[in-house]
Structure 1
Amino acid sequence: MAAFAQNSWLRLALRLTALSTVLTSAYAKGPTFELTLTWDKWSPDGVERDMILVNGRFPAPTLEINQGELVEVVVHNKMPSNTTVHFHGIDMHATPWSDGVPGVTQRQIGTNETFHYKWQATQHGSYWYHAHQLGQVEDGMYGAIVIHPRNELAKPWSLISQDEKVIKAIDHAAKNPRPLLLADHRRRTADDIVNLSHQAKTELPCFDSILFNGKGSVNCIPADELTSLLTPQQANVLKANNVTNLTPKGCLPPSLISKTISPNVTVNMAVLPKDVLEVCTPSKGSKEVITVQKQHAGDEKWLALDLIGAFHLLAVVFSIDEHPVWVYAVDGDYIKPQLVHAIQINNGDRYSILVQLNNPGKYPVRIASVQNSQVMYSSATLLYSVDETGPAPERPTVPYVKNNGLPASNATVYYSQPKQKQFVEEPIGQVANQTYKLFMRTAGPSFSWALNKTTLPAAVLDHGSEPVVLFEPKINNLDNTTITTKNGTWVDLILITDTIPMPPHPIHKHGNKMWQIGNGIGPFPWATAAEAAAAVPQNFNLVDPPKRDGFVTAQATPTNATWTVLRYHVTTPGAWLVHCHVQSHLVGGMSMVIQDGSDHWPAVPGEYLKF
């Protein structure tokens, strides 16, 4: 710490100690959650495997909190491996040491060690928590967070209805949202998949099942149905390579995996066991049933769901047969509600929705993968009735979406992110004080990725030999994996495709939300977003752009690059990770550290420095 103590950062940090004390005292003492992590056997889709259980269960328990409370999460690691826990989307205002990133904000929690996360619930809405150690999300360490808003907070219900009876029913439902964790699942552990990827020298983008709140089954789709579900893009890839169909698992055949994902690398697909990409073995696991209490005839009845994209790779389309939904919050923040039939949900996304229950019965709650590498779909069930009569007799229902995510008719309306408007309008800086161009690329085999030309593999952060960045920040920008900003400034991150073809990447920033102010196809020849906006104003929105803690970059074609401009306001000083939320991309190096607010660096409490 000697070198760090000599620079101005520490002197400025000490000034913030009193401020941190004032902020903390303004919040009421909230709940303390005890989480015990063990490595045990569980059968999410009817097939037993080793995985992480939290308090003896999967998924991890929901953390339910009131806005304005001080929260403590005590993690007891009883696993044979190290771990950390990240609270996804929580801004960690004045408590960056509780963000849960090994090597960035804390040291790892070793076997039989206990770590106390303490943070302030400054926000409200839907969030989630998950491991941030290598691929432990894939091994089951994730759960939902619900933060109930303050009573006096303005809510967007009058934009849905002017009827006081309806508004009352909506408000009642929204006070009791039900988290719905959506995830892809494999029978093999994350370590198994990483090892096989390295042996084959390619990413392995194929899964066994889709889970709703930890429940599901392996669904082996018949060959003729797989053919009928091919998207135009998938059909073109198969035809161009003289391949007639996907594997029985619904995946691209090994030969096409190597061509499309690792075109410039010599792969060894022969080392892969057949179950990884080809063989499908059906199973019968449990099914999630969303049951709503009986209602009296004539009553207004609504259901609020928090949809959480806890995927490792997949992007999906969500819908409920014969039930349009109102999207009223995105990534925890209220928006001007959109009435839609279907929502594309990417890795890390959260959508809060309201469903009007006006036709008792039993309805499929569907998700269908839109990942080009695999065709797969699954469903849960929505069940509700009137009085004591029970649900209406089962009958065929009409879906809004096909089992490949495409619309079932021209009338299907999808959620539109470009049309997303925040319920409470916020001014956005019209000029950035700093601009960073981040060149996304593959760095050799397809399991090796870079967010800013240079890879930062999770193992580098996880192994613990380097100082924790929050404790000993880098004084200068020494490489492409670290950048530094000043407090109160506006920063542009321009994500540019550096190698093509390039898949979409769900880019998540820790510490605060961002605005997507622009995007386009082709190269980005301009020095700043201001120059780009002057040249192609139709590609920019500096008035009311969407705001989130994660955005998906556009997919680059075989001939065209893409670019995305994200702008954020530096208001939470500390060391934060920005990364692709696809687990194999994060483990493979698609991340970097941002030292935000270097002139107001926080003073880390001694208990965290010593841990």
Structure 2
Amino acid sequence: MWFRQCLSVLVVAWAATAATTDRPGKPKTFELTFTWEKHAPDGFKKEMILTNGKFPGPVLELNHGDDVEVTVRNKLPFNTTVHFHGIEMLNTPWSDGVPGLSQRSILPGKSFVYRWKATQAGSYWYHSHHRSQLNDGMYGPIVIHPKAGAARPFAKISNKDKVIRAMEKAEAEVKPLVLSDHRHVTSERGWDINVASGLETPCFDSILINGKGRVDCWAPEKIASLLTAEQRLFLQLGNGTAFTAKGCLPASIIAAVQARGKVTNVSAIPPEIFDQCTPTNAPREVIKVNKKGGDETTWVAFDLIGTFGLITGVFSIDEHPMYIYAVDGDYIEPQQVEAVSLTNGDRYSVLVELTKPGDYTMRMVSLTMPQMFTGTATLSYRDPKKPAPPTKESVPYVSDVGLNLTASVRFFDQAKMKAFPPAPISQTAQQTVKVAMRVAGPFSYNWALNDTVYPMALDDATPLLFRPDPERNNNVTITTKSGTWVDLIFQAVNFPMPPHPIHKHGNKMYLLGQGNGLFNWSSVAEAAKVIPASFNFVDPPRRDGFSTPAALQGPSWMAVRYHVNNPGAWLLHCHQQSHLQGGMSMAIQDGVDKWVTVPKEYLNYK
């Protein structure tokens, strides 16, 4: 009987994870099977994508330097692909997962094998890159453990060997926290509503942590008391008085302000999208950690992963400061904070010292102007050598709209983010590309980089990677030469305009500077002579995604620089799913003079 019980537990544990094989000298292999099933993450049952029968998908756990094979089996009723977010895909651009750019779509009933090398360590994630399927739940975390001898920044937190060892142990057992917004309509239905109404519909139902959460409906008095200055401005501009029962900016205000002058039909939006709120009582995530007894130091590490379809939010753990030691997979000089803002695609690796056993609320609070809502989980730990602590409410650092509740609350400051060890940057660039961001066309759900909506029809075209065009320099394509440094200048030319989380596939970018107004110079070098304080050429932040500054009452700009050291066809896009599907993308032919040779199995895949 004992043997059968143990065998049953082992079988269940195996089935709940990604199928993986790790053989010496062989690639580490995983199998991901996608199915379309009914599931109720927040207590409301809907059709969504499950990965190996789970939501979110299982962790892909690797070591730096591993060769990787991920076999995808598409049992969905529609096409799909998988993108491994933040993975540079060095010398394997055909495994980047963008339909019509680096691969052909995976048809229903078909399989596809992604092959790549783990040339980076840290926190990453995988998700669908077909239309807005991310909003249907196709995503999961990736953990790539650093090599044993890798330089770590923990000595900058403590000079005690015992504490550093405890931090290293926590990092080796890091726990992903998948933070997501969730809608009760499918991505296809949501897009159909956008098209029918002529509007973007930026209102969700819940915030999930590791796939769990619930719908909370706030009293009108609470919603009114929490309105921010930006939200009041939009109500004023649209002649409105209040947010909806769901905590959303009314659709009529979006039509009057963001979509002014565009074709709209607010009556085509079902009331449950913006106006109606039906609470649920689904279970929330509980993170249990074993604390060592007595005076022994105990730390826990989390990878915070922003898998949002739309929102930007603030994460905090009541009564527990965090040391942020890595951002987007790269080590940084640690910052001790009480709260950190995350947007679409962001990853923050944090260390938390467990000093006072009990139960503490982990909070994910929306900062996105069109909606106020929150998601919570519980961090729970006990001291095995002491009695259980009394039950009590933990004390938050931030309000339900992400504002600090005391002057001592510290937020992560990206401007002070320093690479560990330092990452070199060229002081000059050989190419400058200005990119205008705007609402384009007759409808407000169409967005553009460089004034042109990226056509979704390209998803079904022969991938650009398979037949590059060295002379192509149109409004939806950038072409670069290998070994050069390129500056991208993003300008919000229309306003009011929200921040856009811009993600580049293939490699990371440096944030040189940002500001208000139009970028009225031909290059960063020229601008730096006039406004030198606006730029950092010494130790700028380096990430695979940056959010452009909001343009509330006038234009704004952001300048990034990257090194062309990974030839291939890569996507540059806003990571908000409605903006991505609305056309806010560009293709980049990086290193077109040293193009890669695509293996026949990918060229001939159908």
Q: Give the TM-score band, short-chain normalised.
A: over 0.9
Whole-angstrom distance in 2 between the partners of 1:86 and 1:390: 47
Match of 1:115 among 94, 112, 116: 112
Structure 2: which amino acid aligns with 1:287?
R
Aligned residue for 1:608?
602
Shift of 1:253: 1.4
Deviation, 1:295, is 2.0
User: Separation in 1 of the partners of 2:206 and 2:465?
Assistant: 38
Deviations 1:451-506 (A, max 9, x none): 1111103x2232x2x22100011231242001111111100011011222211000
- Secondary structure, aligned partner of 2:208: strand
Q: Distance in 1 between matches of 2:245 and 2:196?
A: 23
The answer to whether the aligner puts 1:532 opposite 2:527 as a matched pair is: yes
Q: Equivalent residues in 2 for 1:87-166 (5 A)?
A: 87-166=84-163
Q: CA deviation at 1:368?
A: 0.9
**Quick one: distance in 2 between partners of 1:531 and 1:188?**
48
**CA-CA distance at 1:553 after TM superposition:** 0.0
* Contact persistence 1:102–1:108 (CA under 8 A): yes
Q: How does 1:46-125 map to 2 (within 5 A)?
A: 46-125=43-122
- AA in 1 matched with 2:304: L
Tell me the secondary structure at the aligned position of residue 577 of structure 1.
strand
Distance between the aligned counterparts of 2:512 and 2:526, measured in 1?
Answer: 13
The structure 2 residue matched to 1:521, chosen from 516, 519, 525, is: 516
Query: Are 2:293 and 1:296 aligned?
Result: yes
Structure 2 residue 468 is the aligned partner of structure 1 residue 470: no
Distance in 2 (CA, whole Å) between partners of 1:41 and 1:78 is: 14
CA distance in 2, matches of 1:378, 1:228: 19
Could you tell me which residue of structure 2 aligns to residue 586 of structure 1? 580
Match 2:549 to one of 554, 565, 578: 554
How has the CA–CA distance of structure 1 residues 569 and 478 changed in structure 2, closer, same or farther, with 3 Å as cutoff? closer
Candidates 495, 502, 508, aligned match of 1:500: 495
> Are 1:250 and 2:247 matched, yes or no?
yes
- Are 1:29 and 2:26 matched, yes or no? yes
2:578 aligned with 1:573:
no
Match of 2:368 among 352, 366, 371: 371
> Residue 68 of structure 2 contacts residue 117 of structure 2 at CA under 8 Å; is this kept in 1?
yes
1:434 partner amino acid: Q
Q: Unaligned stretches of 5+ in structure 2?
A: 1-23
User: What is the CA distance between 1:120 and its match in structure 2?
Assistant: 0.3
Q: How does 1:475-494 map to 2 (within 5 A)?
A: 475-494=470-489
Residues 129-182 of structure 1 show CA distances to partners (whole Å, capped at 9, x for unaligned) of: 000000110000000000000001000010000011111111100111100000
Is the 1:28–1:69 Cα contact (8 Å) retained in structure 2?
no
Paired residues of 1:197 and 1:204 also in contact (CA < 8 A): yes
Q: What do residues 292-344 of structure 1 show as CA deviations (whole Å, max 9, x unaligned)?
A: 01421111100100000000010001111110100000000000000001000
TM-fit CA distance, 1:581:
0.1
Q: Is the 8 A contact 2:237 2:257 kept in 1?
A: no
Are 1:287 and 2:281 an aligned pair?
no
Alpha-carbon distance in structure 2 between the residues aligned to 1:572 and 1:348: 21
Q: Offset of 1:388 from its aligned partner?
A: 5.7
Amino acid in the other structure paired with 1:521: N
Post-superposition offset of 1:356: 0.4
Contact 1:30 1:65 in 2 (8 A): no
Decide which of 450, 457, 460 is 1:460's aligned counterpart.
457
Q: Helix, strand or coil for the counterpart of 1:261?
A: coil
Amino acid at match of 1:429: S
Following superposition, the deviation at residue 238 of structure 1 comes to 2.6
| Equivalent position amino acid for 2:568 in 1 | G
Q: Secondary structure at the match of 1:196?
A: helix
| 2: CA distance, partners of 1:28 / 1:591 | 39
Other-structure match for 2:232: 235
Match of 1:321 among 318, 321, 326: 318
What is the letter of the counterpart of residue 216 of structure 1?
A: G
Alpha-carbon distance, 1:254 to partner: 2.1
Residues 314 and 346 in structure 1, CA contact (< 8 A), matched pair in contact too: yes
- Code of the aligned partner of 2:545: G
Aligned-partner SS, 1:157: helix
Aligned counterparts of 1:502 and 1:232: Cα–Cα separation in 2: 15
Unaligned ranges ≥5, structure 1: 1-26
Runs of 4+ in structure 1 off by over 6 angstroms are none
| TM-score normalized with structure 1 length | 0.94
- Matched residue, 2:200: 203
* Deviation, structure 1 residue 549: 0.1
Give 1:29 shift: 3.1
Distance in 2 (CA, whole Å) between partners of 1:41 and 1:331 is: 32
* CA apart distance, 1:390: 5.9
Q: d(CA) in 1 for partners of 2:451 and 2:264? A: 23
- Aligned partners of 1:129 and 1:144 also within 8 Å: yes
Q: Which amino acid aligns with 1:44?
A: P
The number of aligned residues is: 581
CA distance in 1 between counterparts of 2:97 and 2:381 reads: 40
Distance 2:283 2:575 in 1: 28
SS of residue in 2 equivalent to 1:355: strand
